[in-house]
Every structure is written in structure tokens, then in C-alpha cells.
Structure 1
């Protein structure tokens, strides 16, 4: 179980994973928290909209309709691969579902698919998925023939992986609506085991910070139009015994971002000044409390874009 990401934390995670994000209207305060709990969260749920057109689909998911007020998800993923954020908090996307599926998602102990579901909204044994899952609605008619462009599938993969990274979840924390409720068929047109395989492969590597079609920020790239970035070295790297040019490069980026707590400038050894400077960066990104303790984490590190050093 995990505390839901704040709006700033969600933005940071998505952008660090290379997701193109559009903030729609008042999404940061748009939610259904007044009717039920939001969190603890356990996973990500994927849907299709049964609609066409980005603008109309985004408005539908933001506003909802008479019988189901919006937001109907947290983000709408269009066919161009853009994620339109429409809600932050409880959203009307999952409804009731199977408690055995929830247990399997929490444990991440199922095989290719979660256990078969026999519960749904209104059934006696259903549990509230709106409390437990982030939701992404993907623009598609849901008829099995409407295409899923590569850019859209890439964005679904990246957005799902971004949230999983932020919460230290694996790919099995991502399910389709059809795997949650026996009354649902979405998403239709690709398989969730295939998507989870793609997410698992992405989580096994450092995020590139750029869409797959643009390798300019992939470690090892020699593209002239963007710098090679330093992969996240892990939280255990940042101790008083560490002396590395990576620390210096990080410090210079913190100074450039206006987050300096240095007296004489950054150096190669990890110090208290580095920790305090990095805590300023975390707070700038919207992290608070123990999440802004000055010890780099993957999402904040990727957002800092530290140049690669040998």
C-alpha cells in the first residue's frame, strides 16, 4: 500500500519517464474525494474511452456525465501519445471489483494474468477500486478494430511505468479494467500480459526521459542535440564515504536550478551541503516531509537531468 502521489510528484514522475503531459483545466483540485477515500493506492488501471477525438475525449473524462460525474480517470492518453491530466484524487474509473484480484495485485504474485474475476459494481463481494487505483483512459472506440498507434501504446507503457517507479511497484501492479470487473471488456485491441511485459522491461532499465522515437537522452547516446544523462546510481550511493565526479555534476545542476546550500561550491564528496541542496530541489518539485529528506530518489534524480560523467 502507498500514499497517493501529489500533483507535483505525479508530474515529476511522468516527465522523468519521458511522457508528454498536458495539464487540463483545474486538474490539480478536481476529484471525488468528498464521496469516498482516495488511497492507500495499490496499482494502475487501464481503460479505453469508447470515444474518438482527443479534445472531446478529454472533456468527457474531465466533466463526466449525469450518472457518473467526473473526473472519470486521472489521465487521458490520446492517439498521439499525449497524456492529458484531468484529475488528482479519487476518480470515477474503476468501480467495484474482485477482492482476490486486489490481493494478487498487492502481492504481485500472479502468473500471466490475475485470478479470474466474478465481482463487479454493486455485487455483494465487490471492493471499491476508485480508492485503490490510478486510472488512465485511452482514446479508442473499443471495438477491436480501432487502431492503437505505437505512440499511444508507448505512452501507456511509460505512464504506467512512471507510477510504478514512484511507488517501487512492479509491472504486475498494472491491470486492465476487464481484469478487475467481470462486467468490463476494456482495454480491447491489445493484451494486458503484453503491456505488462513492456512495462517490466522498462522498469528493469533507467528511464530515458525521452520517447522511444527520440534516443537523444538514452545513456550512451551520441546525438548532438541533447546531452547524455547520468543514470540514477541508487540511494545507497549517497553516503559520506562516496567521492565521485557524479556528485560534483549533481551539485552543479542543483546550483543551476537555484537550489544551492553550498558555501564554497559543490565537490566530489557527498556532504551535508549536498543533502541540504538536494532537499531544496525535492521541495521545488513538490515533495514534502520524509520525501524531501535530501537523499536522491529515482524520480527527482531523473528530473534533475545530471549530465553524464565517466
Structure 2
């Protein structure tokens, strides 16, 4: 039986493991403690968010949504490896799950199949939501995987737990798929290495990195604003828009894959931040990215630019 860490101890424990932290608002007091108990704690649960755009995701996990108030986790692990702390108490992340799985986590034995949803997981698990679309295509940057490993290992080290105390949402609640994109057995191996309980494997599978086609973004920037409705002519536009949202240049409501006037205005602002202007003196940039401006945006937000 383990007593949950207080906010200061949680932050210190993560920092000691080399985790890059960002404290969000009143995270030390933001919790669901008023509606149910927090603790004893028995493990760490990993999720994916089904979202893109770091700031949008942080806002979501902090405040929640209709029918599920926040906080939705203790920390949100972004694509760049930053752990955004949103709570130090009970959080709405695990939901009801299988009591046999909980017993296996406590005993650190093989987990049975989760076929019940009768035990309050929000009471017993630290939760980390990880920024990813969860479609099997959205890549997991190594810096993000490393942050997941370090955050889980930090909590295990503090409580004297082993890697078997770390589970995915899919191992706890029937019907849940997350996380998608890596296996929890593979992640537990990484955590075991971090805790010094296992030798590192010969080679870890390299995560894929997002790519954006410059020519296709340029075509969308020139074509989409004049088309009726809000067509999505190139899916890579969503990646560019997510980066512009994170830069504070585009409203999250416009993260739709349509290179419309708002996206073009946001790209204009980014081009001018990069030092570009229009062809004539005093003329603003045109909102159609060039290789340099798009490459610089990608370098800050985790994607590569291809032709």
C-alpha cells in the first residue's frame, strides 16, 4: 500500500529522473478529490490523447469536456518530451477497471485479460496522457518515448515498484485501445532498463517522424481558400496548423486541415516572424510558405519538410 505523493514530492521526483517539467496553473490544488478518494496508489497508467497540438491538448486534459470534467491526468507528455503537470490528486483518467488486473499490478505478476469494469482506477493509478492521435500512423518521437519512460520510472523508483506496476489503459478497462503505436511490454522493458533491472536491448525500434510535403502545402495554400466549403486537399496541412496553434498564431478551432484564410493569415504571421515580407516595400508576406519558413516551423514542432 502506497500513499500518493504530494505535489512538491511529485515534481521533485520527476525532476530527479531528468524529466523536463511545465507546471500548469493551479495544478497543485487541481483535482477530483472532492468526489472520491485518492489512494492508496498501486501503479502508473499510460494513455494517448487522440489529439494534436500541445497547447490544445494541455487545455483539454486540464479542464476536461462535457460529461468528463478535468483534470484528466496528472501529467500530459507532449511530442517534445515536456511533461505538463495538471494535477497532484485524483484525476479522471483510468475509470472503472478489472479488479484482477489491479491485484496483478500490486503483486507485479502477469496481468490477466481485463474483462470487468468494477474497480475505481482513478483512486489507485497515477495517469499520464501522451499527445498522439492514436491512429497507428501518428509517430512517437524518441524524445517523447524517453519522457514516458523517465516519468513512469521516477514514480516506480519513489515507491519501490518495478516495471510491472506500469500498465496501459487497454490493459485496465475493457474496450480501451490506448496507447496505440507501441506495446506496453516494450515500454516496460525500457522502464526496466531505466530502473537498472534489465540490460538494454541491442536495438530499440526507431520511432517515425512526421513529414510534410512543401509542394503540396503550397498547392493547398494557393487553392483551398478559393474553394467552396472547407475542403481538405492535403492531410499534411493539419500538421502545419497544429504547429501554428502551438505558436499562438491560429485558433485551435481552425485545426481542420483546410488551408483557409485563417490558416493563411497565421502562416503570414509566422513568415514575418521569420523575417520575410512581400515582394513590394511595405507589403506583408503572402501566407504561402517557402522551404525556409516551413522548415523552421517543423524544427520547432517535430516534423520534417520534403519536396
Could you list the runs of 4 or more consecutive aligned residues of structure 1 that deviate by over 2 angstroms after TM superposition?
A: none
CA distance in 2, matches of 1:21, 1:75: 9
CA distance in 2, matches of 1:162, 1:54: 23
CA distance in 2, matches of 1:37, 1:29: 15
**Which residue, 135, 156, 161 being the options, matches 2:153?**
161
TM-score scaled by structure 2? 0.64
Deviations 1:21-46 (A, max 9, x none): 00000000000000000000000000
Cα drift, residue 66 of structure 1: 1.8
2:261 counterpart residue number? none
Contact 2:97–2:121 (CA<8 Å) still a contact in 1? yes
1:185 counterpart residue number? 177
The correspondence of residues 98-247 of structure 1 with structure 2, limited to 5 A, is 98-110=98-110, 114-120=111-117, 126-204=118-196
Deviations 1:145-188 (A, max 9, x none): 10000000000000000000010000000000000011200000
SS in 2 for 1:194: helix
CA distance in 2, matches of 1:25, 1:127: 30
1:15 counterpart residue number? 15
- Bigger Rg, structure 1 or 2: 2
> Are residue 72 (structure 1) and residue 49 (structure 2) matched?
no
> Which blocks of at least 5 consecutive residues in structure 2 are unaligned?
198-307
Contact 2:43–2:166 (CA<8 Å) still a contact in 1? yes
2:81 counterpart residue number? 81
SS in 2 for 1:161: helix
SS in 2 for 1:135: strand
> Are residue 55 (structure 1) and residue 55 (structure 2) matched?
yes
What is the number of residues matched between the two proteins? 197
CA distance in 1, matches of 2:163, 2:102: 14
CA distance in 2, matches of 1:181, 1:31: 22
> Which blocks of at least 5 consecutive residues in structure 1 are unaligned?
121-125, 206-310
TM-score scaled by structure 1? 0.63
CA distance in 2, matches of 1:53, 1:19: 20
Between 1 and 2, higher relative CO (CA 8 Å, sep ≥ 6) is seen in 1
Task: Provide the alpha-carbon RMSD of the alignment.
Answer: 0.7
Contact 2:10–2:88 (CA<8 Å) still a contact in 1? no
